[in-house]
Amino acid sequence: MSDLHWSALMAAAQAGDAVRYRQLLGEIDTWLHRYFARRLPPPMVEDAVQDTLLAVHEKRHTYDPTRPFGPWLAAIARYKWIDRLRAMKSAPTEALTDDISVSGHEDAVTSASSLERLLRELKPAQADVIRLVKLQGLSIAEAAARTGQTMSLVKVNIHRGLGRLTALVGKHSDAD
């Protein structure tokens, strides 16, 4: 968090500088994505970020420019996170029956387990971007924003990680 920088941007925004305000919202958007990605299921992250940005917009007049911006933003994000947790608790769930077998399920579970085992052998940065781009379908830019890596580094980590996975799979098949 770049507290002094963000404090200056928010003070300029309160004074009517729309360019600085857009810059601030863009920068805190990235921070909020990382904040919520560690705390919420992936499908809920974007909604939580948007709720928080809206709350910042609605409450921007309450920010005191003599105080640090980071704790003010973190408090709003924390309240929005708690709101999401409460919503998850009250969301209706579907009852499971005892008969939940699915044909071919064993192969899918085995494949997923094998893939996770292989991904754990990679460097964390490589495994993270492979999960985001190749498994979850995010773009390179979205993966870069989520992980804090540059787009070039995301591409390099994917390339090297896939190369390492290929070598690991070859090594494991030779052992069989």
Q: What CATH code would you report for 3-90?
A: 1.10.1740.10
Query: What is the spatial distance between Cα 171 and Cα 176, in angstroms, rounded to a whole number?
Result: 9
Domain ranges of the chain: 3-90, 113-175
Question: 39: helix, coil or strand?
Answer: coil
Task: For the chain, 176 residues long, give each residue's pLDDT as a single digit of tens.
Answer: 577 899 999 999 999 999 999 999 999 999 999 999 999 888 889 999 999 999 999 999 999 999 999 999 999 999 999 988 888 777 666 666 666 666 666 666 677 778 888 888 889 999 999 999 888 888 999 999 999 999 999 999 999 989 888 888 877 666 55
Note the pTM of the prediction, 2 decimals.
0.51
Task: Quote the crossing angle between the two packed helices 18-37 and 69-90, to the nearest 10°.
Answer: 50
Query: What is the spatial distance between Cα 153 and Cα 175, in angstroms, rounded to a whole number?
Result: 32
Tell me yes or no: is domain 113-175 CATH 2.60.40.2230. Answer: no
